[in-house]
Structure 1
Amino acid sequence: MMKRRQFINRTALAIVGTSLIGCFDHSKFELKKNQVVGCFGDSITFAGGTGGYVEMLQEIFNKEKPELNIKFINFGKSSETVSGLSEEDHPGPRPYLFERLDEILDKNPIDVALFCYGINDGIYGKPSEELFRSFKIGVYSFLEKMRQRDIKTILLTPPPLAERHSGDQNITSYSYKHPYPKYDKEVLEKFTDIILEMQHPYASAEINIRKPLFASQKDCYDKDPIHPNKKGHRLIADTIFGNLSF
């Protein structure tokens, strides 16, 4: 199993040494008949594996575009990151996508990847250039993996951390239990910019799910500031569907 930091460092060198030249068309992405979409993300994507935005997308396509015969597969995993980081208060190291990604792709041929990470990747702490660099490298690393397999990718922005959480300014060790009070504004907004500004030939589309969720957070979140409720998942699914072309 590849050590996390070795992978990140090697990928960082690849990014520094790569010059991406050309025109990046980030208009609406077109799904084609009989394609299989692999959905990668953390617990928000997994959603218990039964009733989140991935499953809702399947229902929408079955109803609205049955002739396309699109299949969505949920590969979400709770607590996972692409940054390879974990906070001290987390029960053990957070799962790291790149420790399972190759095996998933070997066993499950897919045509399109749907990517949604970020809310865990900042480990709920203060912003830093190293933190932003780790997330950017994680996103880029995923896209490089997709390039190797010729899998076009739809990047989703991270969802917000709902404002109703109680942040304690006196805490010095932040975690998912006690997020940094400005985590959404100072970390997740920056992660959103990283996604929306990502320049890579296999970043075929970027969809901003943060904006509608943030605007409707009173309806889309209950007491849990991390995980959207059913209305929130429906809004994510509808936003994705509305940003695709057929």
Structure 2
Amino acid sequence: MLHLFAGPITNDPVKPVILFLGDSITADGRYISYVEEWLRKHRPDQAVELVARGIPSETASGLSEARHPFPRPCIHDRLAEELAAAAPGVVVACYGMNDGIYHPYSDERFAAYQAGMRQLSAQIREAGAKAVLMTPPPFDAASMNGQLLPEGAPDFSYLAPYRDYDRVLERYADWLLFGGCPADGVIDLRTPLLEHIRYERRLDASYSYGDGIHPDASGHRVIAQTLLSELFGVVSTPIHFNL
């Protein structure tokens, strides 16, 4: 656990500005809003600024599927500008969901993700901030309303993904968790979200985890609770959010 902001941080060497980078899951903003809400209510004296700068469709790898309506943006095209503007003490980055471009696993795509994440982490640290990487959230095929394709299909996209795409994301997450990318911390989103999906589906077999790619509100609450635990040392008991 990181616990970078576990108590009052007036004298903390970590600058209390946290920049959040990521794709549409981060751009949604709900998990960041939930964290802000909890901090305002329970730690009003902790002057932490959360800067939300997620961009829909973005990758760290620079890859894009042929059927995407436009070339996917890449964080490396804007990273220097974002770091200069926010001057953060910590950057929390979540990439991977789009980096496998919804295809079956390939060494080439995985290598592009690895290179992109290493570059991301290195540039954050060169800017004087701590790099905190989050594993990609799971892909829940049972929640997909669109077409799911077998491995031998001629092409794939976010609208027609590989049916076992979550196995690809598992490899990406494991690489981060086992130290494949030098960083100041890695936060496992995958495990608590998978546990959440299983729990909700035991209660209601028809439970839908958003659209299978983007978490629903309850999934964003799980992400927020994980961040509060890992960054702020909040005891892992159920946390209630009003948003």
TM-score calculated relative to the size of structure 1: 0.82
- Check if 1:177 corresponds to 2:159: yes
Which residue identity does 2:128 align to in structure 1? D
The aligned counterpart of 1:207 is 187
Name which of 64, 84, 88 aligns with 2:62: 84
Q: Deviation at 1:62?
A: 1.5
Secondary structure at 1:154 match in 2: strand
Aligned pair 1:101/2:79, yes or no?
A: yes
Structure 2: unaligned runs, 5 residues or longer: 201-206, 234-243
Aligned residue for 1:239?
A: 226
Match of residue 191 from structure 1: 172
For the residues of structure 2 that align with 1:206 and 1:63, how far apart are their CA atoms? Answer: 26
2:2 maps to which of 18, 28, 48 = 28
AA matched with 1:55: S
The aligned counterpart of 1:226 is 213
**Mapped contact 2:96–2:169 kept (Cα < 8 A):** yes
Name the SS for the 1:40 alignment partner: strand
Distance 1:64 1:233 in 2: 19
Give the deviation of 1:221 after TM superposition: 4.0
For residues 144-178 of structure 1, the C-alpha deviation after alignment (integer angstroms, 9 at most, x for no partner) is: 11121110021111000113135222632000001
Classify 1:161/1:199 alpha carbon distance in 2 versus 1 (closer, same or farther; 3 Å): closer
The one-letter amino acid of 2:175's match is I
Partners in 1 of 2:181 and 2:74 — Cα distance? 22
CA-CA distance at 1:55 after TM superposition: 1.3
Return the offset for 1:188: 0.1
CA distance in 2, matches of 1:36, 1:105: 11
| Alpha-carbon distance in structure 1 between the residues aligned to 2:33 and 2:102 | 27
Could you say if the C-alpha distance between residues 73 and 245 of structure 1 is closer, same or farther in structure 2, counting changes exceeding 3 Å? Answer: closer
Residue of structure 2 in register with 1:118 after alignment: 96
Q: How many residues align?
A: 215
Counterpart in the other structure of 1:8: none
CA RMSD of aligned residues (A): 1.8
Q: Residues 162 and 226 of structure 1 are in contact (CA less than 8 Å); yes or no, is this contact kept in structure 2?
A: yes
The worse-fitting range, judged by mean Cα deviation, of 192-201 and 132-141 is 192-201
TM-score normalised to the size of structure 2?
A: 0.83
Which stretch shifts more, 54-63 or 76-85?
54-63
